[in-house]
Amino acid sequence: MQKLSIQGGVPLTGAIRVAGAKNAALPILAASLLVPEPVHITNVPRLNDVRTMVKLLGLMGVKTEAGEHDVRLDAASIGEPFAPYELVKTMRASILALGPLTARFGEARVSLPGGCAIGERPVDLHIKGLTAMGAEITIEQGNIHAKAGRLKGARIFMDTVTVTGTENLMMAATLADGETILENAAREPEVVDLARCLVAMGARISGHGTDVIRVQGVERLHGVTHSVMPDRIEAGTFLAAAAATRGAVTLEEAPVDALDAVIEKLREAGAAIAVGERTLRITMKGRPRAVSVRTAPHPGFPTDMQAQFIALNCVAEGAAHVTETIFENRFMHVQELRRLGAHIEVEGNTAIIHGVDRLAGAAVMATDLRASASLVIAGLVAEGETVIDRIYHLDRGYERIEERLGALGARIKRLD
């Protein structure tokens, strides 16, 4: 299993280009199932999860051609509308095939995702929403089986804000008969990017970016070329790494409008951040100050940045409270960060971090994607060598991390 070795203690300096957003690319690739014409998606990050989604679509009979950072898809006809357990268990976002398949083909079978490292993560709201639109849904042999004639528009209230739930139902509604109103919808920028892509395909959607999305169903959608938005979590991770190492880094092609909560907290930590049209420049002079955060749906502080901010707080001046409100088990990085010398207590869904003067390198293990990002940040700060095991978690969400951080001066290499 591949590992990452980091010799810490070097401030990150230089410029880095932000890659396309994983969590926008995945639903946008799934949206190709809605269209009987070729679709061309650009600015696609090269990540394991993207490869899994392309493989899944290919298995269903979609013609796929993946370039370095683009994917061509043609779902003129498909074979089996089935997402098998082997793929769903490696990537929960496979559930994003459910809405489009049901809407266009009147049938879908998607293996029921199990719990995962960060929490239970049910998909009841996806199922309830499709049922409200007229689909008949049963669970058979571990698969969600949906059957429908043409879906019908409906008013759907989701009692928890769900990102992929909103995306699944918004995609399904594009081909439904009549109007669908999604209430308490997710406002995440990735939902907005998907909506923009669907609109370019001919969908009639309004309200994306607010908590009420209206979709007027159409008979059919058409082919499109769409460029995926830049990844706000990758950008936020680089900003946190620059702050923790007391560096000076420019992010190019940055999603400057999607990072308000993160930028605000980094400024509170003492970083100077200059926001350009498509660039962000962070400079951190001196030791960061501890900053408390509480995760919340967008535009609140993203749960996908929680682990990285715990890492930043590990070496900050003072104590911080970091509260996780979205997932029930997202503190797996805490025990690994302690191995590097961090002082962290966990009480319920809050981590209390007392900043220390120095961390010291050690062998640690990645448990999930963002946990592994926090270990990279801590490793970049720690004195001596940190070796991170199970970095396939990291490869799910960060493209060629060692090369790109290496270009910023980090002493980092992949070990086979």
Residues that bind ligand EPU (CB under 6 A): 23, 26, 92-93, 119, 121-126, 160, 162-165, 303-304, 326-327, 369-370, 397
Beta partners for residue 146, in sequence order? 108, 137
d(Cα 282, Cα 13) in Å, to the nearest integer?
10
> Nearer Cβ to ligand EPU, position 304 or 389?
304
Least separation in angstroms between residue 57's CB and ligand EPU is 15
Judge contact between 298 and 189, C-beta under 8 A. yes
- DSSP letter at 275 equals E
Closer residue to ligand EPU (CB): 324 or 355: 324
Does the annotation count 116 as an active-site position?
yes
CB closer to ligand EPU, 52 vs 303: 303
Least spacing, CB of residue 366 vs ligand EPU, in Å: 12
Least separation in angstroms between residue 361's CB and ligand EPU is 25
Q: Residue 55: phi, psi to the nearest 5?
A: -65, -45
* Residue 253: DSSP 8-state: S
Least distance CB 139 / ligand EPU (angstroms): 14
Residue with Cβ nearer ligand EPU (102 or 250):
102
Residue 379 CA to residue 169 CA, distance in Å, equals 40
Judged by beta carbon, residue 123 or residue 365, the one nearer ligand EPU is 123
The amino acid that residue 283 corresponds to is T
Distance of closest approach, residue 324 Cβ to ligand EPU, in angstroms: 10
Rounded least distance, CB 16 to ligand EPU, Å: 19
343: Cα separation from own chain's centroid: 28
Reduced to 3 states (helix: H, G, I; strand: E, B; else coil), residue 7 is strand
DSSP state letters, 150-206? S-B--EEE-SS--HHHHHHHHHHHHTSBSEEEEET----HHHHHHHHHHHHTT-EEE
Our CB check for ligand EPU shows the closer of 182 and 271 to be: 182
* Other residues' Cβ atoms within 10 Å of the Cβ of residue 416: 5
**Closer Cβ to ligand EPU, 52 or 250, answer by number:** 52
Annotated catalytic residue: which of 15, 116, 363, 415?
116
Q: Examine residue 84 and say whether the peptide bond preceding it is cis (omega within 30 degrees of 0).
A: no
Structure tokens at 165: 């739930």
Minimum distance of ligand EPU from residue 95's CB (angstroms): 8
| Closest CA relative to residue 28, chosen from 164, 165, 197 | 197
**Alpha-carbon gap, residue 84 to 86, rounded angstroms:** 6
If one counts every other C-beta atom within 10 angstroms of the C-beta of residue 360, the result is: 14
Q: How far is CA 306 from CA 133, 147, 196, 311, in A?
A: 35, 39, 28, 9
What is the chain's alpha carbon radius of gyration, rounded to the nearest angstrom? 21
Give the H/E segment covering residue 88: helix 85-88
Tokens of 22: 């994983």
Q: How far apart are CA 10 and CA 30, in angstroms?
A: 40
Question: What amino acid positions are annotated as catalytic residues?
Answer: 116
